């Protein structure tokens, strides 16, 4: 049977994955929030707002009507900003087929509820569909995937057969998908690496060197792992693609939106003016608030995330934040 796919969210990553699937021969409908953008993509075959310069497959159709996008689809891929995922899923829910495979490629922690997106999906979807939920994450800049550069990611689901189905649907000769059964670890790694990338950007913006960035990446990984274990994830997951892999990419790559925001913070610019000049979403800004509050609720020590929270939400000086990190009580590395 031919698999009909809807991709919900036409940002750079949503458009990239929709195009990848369409080039594999699947009929794909890409849902855009902006009606005028949907019309332009349909006419020109290019997402000029979020993925300029990339010609999209003729198998890709666009619409701004959510109901028509999700109806009678066998796979729904959600690539919406994490803070609006609940709203979009709620609107789509009445028209989703009970047999549909649900995949999320969004990365974040919901602000008000402090829920991981897997918890949001399981709260809204009927229990009979929980085994059909999967998550796609890993080190992957949209522009590079769209340009055909070799990339490896991971698909996680509670049941291996579901992860394997996602693996088969998404894999190409340039886009390799591994399977995993640790949903919590995979999605938490994808969310928290954005916060650490902000910190790495702050370090770069302050003019610090490779030593500082390496320390932030390594200690940031320790914070991600501590919180992940507390939530029931596996430490091994954070050593893989969705943990260390995505963390290194986002903390070092020039295409990282979160690192770019951090650089501007380090240069002394305020977060409101930085975000006002951006077209795309930097998930790490809102995830910082969620991660800080979630860690406090669970009693997990996250000093880097705490300092990013103070910079973003309490107007703390980035230079003072770095000083305070360095002057923390001395301890063993494994703590």
Give the residue numbers marked as catalytic.
193
Indicate the helix (H) or strand (E) that contains 313.
helix 303-313
Beta bridge partners of 157: 134
DSSP, collapsed to helix, strand or coil, labels residue 168 as helix
Q: Of 326, 212, 209, 321, nearest to 268 (Cα)?
A: 321
DSSP, collapsed to helix, strand or coil, labels residue 110 as coil
- Quote the tokens at residue 193: 């690496």
Using CB atoms within 10 Å of the CB of residue 95, give its burial: 0 to 12 exposed, 13 to 18 middle, 19+ buried: middle
DSSP, collapsed to helix, strand or coil, labels residue 176 as strand
CA pair distance 29, 113, nearest whole angstrom: 30
């Amino acid at each position: 049977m031919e698999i009909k796919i809807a991709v919900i969210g036409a940002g750079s990553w949503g458009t990239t994955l929709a195009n990848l699937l369409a080039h594999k021969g699947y009929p794909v409908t890409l849902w855009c929030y902006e009606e005028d953008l949907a019309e332009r993509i349909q006419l020109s075959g290019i997402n000029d707002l979020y993925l300029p310069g990339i010609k999209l497959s003729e198998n890709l159709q666009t619409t701004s009507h959510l109901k028509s996008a999700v109806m009678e689809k066998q796979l729904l891929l959600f690539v919406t900003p994490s803070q609006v995922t609940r709203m979009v899923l709620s609107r789509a829910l009445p028209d989703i087929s009970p047999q549909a495979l649900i995949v999320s490629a969004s990365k974040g922690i919901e602000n008000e509820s402090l829920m991981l997106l897997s918890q949001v999906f399981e709260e809204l979807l009927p229990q009979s569909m929980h085994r059909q939920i999967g998550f796609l994450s890993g080190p992957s800049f949209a522009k590079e995937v769209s340009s055909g550069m070799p990339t490896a990611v991971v698909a996680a689901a509670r049941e291996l057969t579901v992860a394997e189905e996602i693996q088969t649907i998404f894999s190409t000769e340039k886009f390799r998908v591994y399977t995993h059964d640790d949903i919590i670890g995979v999605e938490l790694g994808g969310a928290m690496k954005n916060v650490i990338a902000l910190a790495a950007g702050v370090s770069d913006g302050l003019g610090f060197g490779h030593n500082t960035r390496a320390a932030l990446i390594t200690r940031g990984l320790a914070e991600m792992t501590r919180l992940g274990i507390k939530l029931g994830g596996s430490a091994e997951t954070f050593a893989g693609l969705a943990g260390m892999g995505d963390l290194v990419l986002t903390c070092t790559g020039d295409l990282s939106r979160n690192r770019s925001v951090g650089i501007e913070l380090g240069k002394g610019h305020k977060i409101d003016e930085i975000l006002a000049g951006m077209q795309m979403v930097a998930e790490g800004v809102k995830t910082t608030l969620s991660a800080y509050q979630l860690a406090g609720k669970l009693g997990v020590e996250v000093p880097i995330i705490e300092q990013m929270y103070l910079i973003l939400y309490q107007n703390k000086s980035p230079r003072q934040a770095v000083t305070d990190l360095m002057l923390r009580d001395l301890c063993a590395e494994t703590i």
